[in-house]
Copies of this chain bind each other. A is one copy, B any other.
Amino acid sequence: MSDPRRTSSKRVTLEEVARVAGVSRATASRVVNGVATVDATIRAAVQNAIDATGYVPNLAARSLVTRRADAIGLVLPEESRLAGDPFFETVIRGVMSVIGPSGVHLVLMTMDTNTRDQVVSDLRRGRLDGVILIHTDRDDPLPRQLIEANHPVVMSSRPLHPLPVTYVDVDQTAGGALAAQHLMSLRRNRIVTIAGPQHTSAGQDRHTGFLDAVADPDLPWTEGDFTRESGETSMVHLLRAHPGLDAVFAASDLMAQGAMTVLRATGRRVPQDVAVVGFDDSSAALACDPPLTTVRQPVADMAAEMARLLLARVADPDAPPTRVVFEPTLVVRGSA
């Protein structure tokens, strides 16, 4: 595996680059280290000199001084849970909006085999400065493990078990209540709901908020897993038991989309026969026909906040944990 570029670099020093570029060593160093305030002409001269000499800067040596990787991890759920869900793309964009301009690397990971070991190992070995964890399950030991080792970590939702961790969330309970109040204001009285997974705080809290606001302990419901497929299956189930239903709250836009497909396939009109409200206000809401009335959580803003909180924790790992909770809003469109 020959690599002339890398081999030859051993002989070129920063002094030589500076000499070829006709600048001081300090200026050459600033260009090499990506300092943003260097004049464009000088930057170009130094970069030409780097090309001409084949210089490769000694980044590893720099890391020995700062002890920072200048890289943070964004840990998404298992790969199989990402497909077709616009939520994660929005999270990535929100985090990128903060991390990108900072020059820090955003390292993407999914919670698959070995990921937990790799995250721990990368933090220990200084390959990552901190991690953002998206949607860990109730029984995942990773958050506690990272916090006990004092690694900078930010979570995307309230942990189901109490944990001294920094997290960002939306007021899920209030969001569920918004959906209920809207359906009741439309005088719907044969309401059903497709809840999210009850082993997540989002699934639990949206459901509790909805039920408390409707105040009907016998309200029919099923549990989905936030996917379109589970919305379809749940809707088939609920229609079989309650063919006269006139309103559905689905705890995610994708489940609402699946429910609407089944409603239409059984000859029901949305919203005339059955009103449908979703949760998220993702791109799936606009892809519905009619467009979906839904509870909006500002996912991109929440993700940007996670990134800011993590950078702050990396700068000061001993700061006490913070919690930031966003307010949901109801977006009324055609479906209810």
Partner-B contacts on A (CB < 8 A):
1-6, 32-34, 36, 47, 50-51, 56-61, 63-64, 67, 69-71, 74, 79, 82-86, 88-90, 92-93, 96-97, 100-101, 103, 105-110, 112-115, 117-118, 120-122, 124-127, 149-150, 228, 257, 261, 264, 283-284, 286-287, 289, 315-318
Contact = CB atoms under 8 A, between A and B. Distances in A.
9 contacts: A5-B150, A5-B317, A34-B117, A57-B125, A60-B61, A70-B127, A82-B89, A108-B108, A289-B289
A34 B50 CA distance: 34
Of the listed residues A6, A88, A89, A317, the one surrounded by the most CB atoms of chain B closer than 10 A to its CB is: A89
Contacts of A283: 83-84
Contact of A108 (B50, B85, B92, B122): B92
A149 B93 contact: no
A171 to B, nearest CB: 25
A36 B318 CA distance: 32
Contact of A93 (B2, B57, B82, B317): B82
A18 to B, nearest CB: 15
Given A118-B34, A127-B105, A6 B57 contact: no
A297 to B, nearest CB: 16
A126 B32 CA distance: 11
Contacts of A36: 114
Contact of A60 (B4, B126, B284): B126
A34 B100 CA distance: 28
Nearest to A260: B289
Given A6-B67, A284-B287, A127 B59 contact: yes
Contact of A126 (B56, B93, B115): B56
A106 B89 CA distance: 16
